Amino acid sequence: MLCVGRLGGFGARAAALPPRWAGQGSLQAGIRARRVSTSWSPVGAAFNVKPQGSRLDLFGERRGLFGVPELSAPEGFHIAQEKALRKTELLVDRACSTPPGPQTVLIFDELSDSLCRVADLADFVKIAHPEPAFREAAEEACRSIGTMVEKLNTNVDLYQSLQKLLADKKLVDSLDPETRRVAELFMFDFEISGIHLDKEKRKRAVDLNVKILDLSSTFLMGTNFPNKIEKHLLPEHIRHNFTSAGDHIIIDGLHAEAPDDLVREAAYKIFLYPNAGQLKCLEELLSSRDLLAKLVGYSTFSHRALQGTIAKNPETVMQFLEKLSDKLSERTLKDFEMIREMKMKLNPQNCEVMPWDPPYYSGVIRAERYNIEPSLYCPFFSLGACMEGLNILLNRLLGISLYAEQPAKGEVWSEDVRKLAVVHESEGLLGYIYCDFFQRADKPHQDCHFTIRGGRLKEDGDYQLPVVVLMLNLPRSSRSSPTLLTPGMMENLFHEMGHAMHSMLGRTRYQHVTGTRCPTDFAEVPSILMEYFANDYRVVNQFARHYQTGQPLPKNMVSRLCESKKVCAAADMQLQVFYAALDQIYHGKHPLRNSTTDILKETQEKFYGLPYVPNTAWQLRFSHLVGYGAKYYSYLMSRAVASMVWKECFLQDPFNRAAGERYRREMLAHGGGREPMLMVEAVMTVLTQSCPQRTNMHRHKQAMRWLRDDLV
């Protein structure tokens, strides 16, 4: 999962992805290779030993978080943000006084970089740092930078300096493709912020943006807020499954894996019981997004949000989802029948399949058919072994290695954070990954990738190395064993490392399009692709060894695990189609034809098939409506692209170096600096060969059909 930044325009396009590399001639030639450090150590061993704490350094200077000198104390955020804001003012003056040309785009990108280097770092620290003072200071920095971004996105003088460039055909024709795209992306950010409106409407657009940010924050908090019920209303024999608080029982989740049907039913009905305040917040959020979209010239928020994506528009998304649903329907019905039979076998009194049943009973079916108890696999997946497996794969596929490096005093926020140097065999040091892998108090329970600093070519010809954080929630090692991963944890590790590699590999000229600063429905492709490697025995066999005996993981165990994932896969995907369709309808034509709950009921019956449960409102727990508003379909679209890339490039040989270089050159290298469909077509020769003479529109439709069909 990407942690998607809240800031638009100059604040960045998303979170973290890669730059551009070889194939770019003069740019690559102009970057000096970084030397190898003698302080680096093997990555596998670094993750299978307990952290030793900070080095004894009585006289060393405290460097600050991520090596930023100001951030040795919380007060440093104020210093960093003020420095960034002062630099911003100077760069705005430069942009407005510089004659239009390529230099204009470079100044805009430096402006974006100066803000992102504070905002991106603060976005991570405000949720992950263990000290409240650091979190509060980071939150204030985010607020301050966000205010500046809104001002810049409606600054007419700044807008006109870019417009002069793009209005001059001769100048535009002289720009290289990446520079032209970045200029157009900056212009697009101005336009969706309402720069073309009169002064009064621009102010209204800014006010709506601020309101949407506040509503988003409130709604997001409410999605995780527990519900409570008086004890006497619950059967006594199931109360022990929940937390007690005086005369009440606290329900803080769906308890989807609980073996007792009544526990799951109670959790579902209580946790999803409608909250009037949360309902009002969602309605205001959707309405405000619609007002903003209409104000800046779009018919719906979805039309505004999907500009520049693979899908291009909501009509294509809905067609994709409806066709996919049709193709899944028969298999989904078979899955539900299989679940019904298992439920009848275990609970003959009530065999109707309800929405709280599929996660549990599909797991029962998998375990019964394939004997995939996680405890059988964990001993083969020590964290160190998995990291060494990633190192082997990346080295053979892309020529890069991961090395552990000792962080300086004050550089990390917890002593168990590991720092990795990413090194290419000929290009040298590519960047750094901070691995925040272990559970701790107050740490968010989510697996995420954060950009801390994006890569870009600096004026002096040197390259600003990308820096990212991977955040997981793994158990700590014990006295008798290192950290052991379940198969699901191992797959998540590979997934998040896919995001990190997207950030590390390549060298874009511009920070504004580095790494995951690309369309949402393309950003998950590299991470999902890594899941295919994690489930291929040829890859797993390179590293899965029992931590005590050294015995390799038997091939039949990997085969059983892979086969088990096909159980109820259609029903699982059908559920994602339902969520994506609901998201599109909520962000479609307003005013909505019914309440959000009535729309939920209709959409669930059409796209999922299991009955709606009265007096529930699942949409009030749909946290993705904030970060992925109108874009939840992106997971399905990215999975379709990743599936095709796997089959085209790596199915025959997951270690094919030529295929790896092609994947890097045509997809990873460009970040958001190239149209996503052009990157897909460049890798997927089957697309270009099937319709070489067709128009772009016809080729796009053909690609959508290929992607949809490949999913099923």
Domain count, the chain: 2
Over residues 91-101, mean pLDDT: 96
Decide if 333 is inside a domain. no
Decide if 202 is inside a domain. no
Task: Report whether pLDDT(101) > 60.
Answer: yes
pLDDT digits (tens, 9 = 90+) for 178-231: 999 999 999 999 998 899 999 999 989 988 988 998 899 889 889 989 999 999
Decide if 306 is inside a domain. no
CA nearest to 70, candidates 23, 19, 117, 38: 117
Least confident piece of the model among 11-25, 279-293, 451-465, 605-619: 11-25
Residue 46 has a pLDDT of 84
Residue 6 has a pLDDT of 35
DSSP for 232-253 reads GGS-GGGGGGSEEETTEEEE-S
pTM of the model: 0.88
Tokens 């199931």 sit on residue? 238
Over residues 440-449, mean pLDDT: 85
Alpha carbon separation from 95 to 8, 100, 148, 190 (Å, rounded)? 19, 9, 16, 15
Helical ranges in 129-198 per DSSP H:
132-153, 156-167, 169-174, 177-192
Over residues 263-277, mean pLDDT: 97
d(CA 56, CA 72): 18
Decide if 336 is inside a domain. no
Task: Report whether pLDDT(399) > 80.
Answer: yes
Residue 20 has a pLDDT of 23
Catalytic residue among 388, 427, 496, 666: 496
What CATH number is given to the structural domain containing 118? 1.20.1050.40
Over residues 626-641, mean pLDDT: 93
pLDDT digits (tens, 9 = 90+) for 588-597: 999 999 999 9
Q: Note every long-range contact of 120-124, with CB atoms under 8 Å and residues 24 or more positions apart, other chains counting.
A: 120/5, 120/12, 120/15, 120/450, 120/451, 120/452, 120/453, 120/454, 121/65, 121/66, 121/68, 121/71, 121/452, 121/453, 122/77, 122/81, 123/3, 123/5, 123/6, 123/450, 124/3, 124/450, 124/452, 124/469
Residue 58 has a pLDDT of 47
Question: Given CA atoms 296, 299, 305, 307 in this order, what sign does their dihedral have?
Answer: negative
Decide if 605 is inside a domain. no
Last residue of a domain, one of 142, 164, 196: 196
Task: Report whether pLDDT(444) > 90.
Answer: no
Over residues 500-516, mean pLDDT: 91
Decide if 556 is inside a domain. yes
The boundaries of the domain holding residue 399 are 378-564
pLDDT digits (tens, 9 = 90+) for 606-617: 999 999 999 999
Residue 220 has a pLDDT of 86
Residue 432: both structure tokens together: 């750094």
Last residue of a domain, one of 564, 597, 625: 564
Percentage, residues of the chain above pLDDT 70: 88
Decide if 295 is inside a domain. no
Residue 703 has a pLDDT of 59
From start to end of 184-332, where are the E strands? 227-230, 243-245, 248-251
Is 352 a residue of the active site? no
Percentage, residues of the chain above pLDDT 90: 74
Task: Report whether pLDDT(131) > 60.
Answer: yes
Residue 698 has a pLDDT of 54
pLDDT digits (tens, 9 = 90+) for 17-65: 322 222 333 334 344 455 545 455 578 888 877 765 444 454 556 689 9
pLDDT digits (tens, 9 = 90+) for 364-386: 999 899 988 888 999 999 999 99
- Write down the mean pLDDT value for the chain: 88
Decide if 29 is inside a domain. no
Residues listed for the chain: 712
> Regarding predicted confidence, which is higher, 52 or 501?
501
d(CA 533, CA 539): 6
Task: Report whether pLDDT(680) > 90.
Answer: no
Residue 691 has a pLDDT of 47
What CATH number is given to the structural domain containing 467? 1.10.1370.40
> Regarding predicted confidence, which is higher, 516 or 187?
187
Residue 14 pLDDT level (bands cut at 50, 70, 90)? very low
Burial code of 503-512, b = ≥16 C-beta within 10 A, e = fewer? Answer: bbbbbbbbbb
Residue 41 has a pLDDT of 59
Residue 360 has a pLDDT of 95
285 sits in the region (left: phi over 0; alpha: psi -120 to 50; else beta) called: alpha
Last residue of a domain, one of 513, 531, 564: 564
Residue 678 pLDDT level (bands cut at 50, 70, 90)? confident
